[in-house]
Structure 1
Amino acid sequence: MTNQKVYYGKDIEVMFNSEVCIHSGICVKGLPGVFDLSKRPWVNPDADTMEAIARHIDTCPSGALTYRRLDGEYSTKKEG
């Protein structure tokens, strides 16, 4: 059983696994409107475009943040 939480947005679902997170802070520094530790829930998948959120999640060094695009493209990591 993983400690994964899903945050549902209209265009994208953001998954966060707290067991994997290394607390680099890249998410909150890069997209503070989407990732805000002072708010509950701390992830707001509707605060930016699906593309911006997906691109930013791809920079997560630990892989604790993943996503599912609701436009039919199921990608979590960069292709290739």
Structure 2
Amino acid sequence: MSNQKVYYGKDIEVMFNSEVCIHSGICVKGLPGVFDLSKRPWVNPDADTMEAIARHIDTCPSGALTYRLLNGEYSTKKEG
């Protein structure tokens, strides 16, 4: 069973799988308003536009972060 957590926003759902995360820090460095380790929950999917969040999640090197746009589109999981 995966250790995936879902963070629900009004336009986007952000999924985080801690078992896959390599702790590169790209998420918190690139969008600190959305990804803030000092807050609980640490992901705020309403802190930026769904487009900005989706583009940023697509840069996650491990694929630990994925998303679902509430218009029905899913991110593609990185292969590697």
Identity of aligned residues (%): 96
8 A Cα contact 1:68 1:76, kept in partner? no
Deviations 1:5-52, CA, capped at 9 Å, x for gaps:
000000000000000000000000000000000000000000000000
Change (3 A) 1:26 1:77: same
Structure 1 portions without partners, runs of 5+:
none
In the TM superposition, structure 1's runs of 4+ consecutive aligned residues that sit over 4 Å from their partners are 77-80
Structure 2 portions without partners, runs of 5+:
none
8 A Cα contact 1:7 1:45, kept in partner? yes
For residue 79 of structure 1, report the CA deviation from its aligned partner.
12
In 2, Cα distance between equivalents of 1:58 and 1:3? 20
In 2, Cα distance between equivalents of 1:79 and 1:54? 17
TM-score by length of 1: 0.93
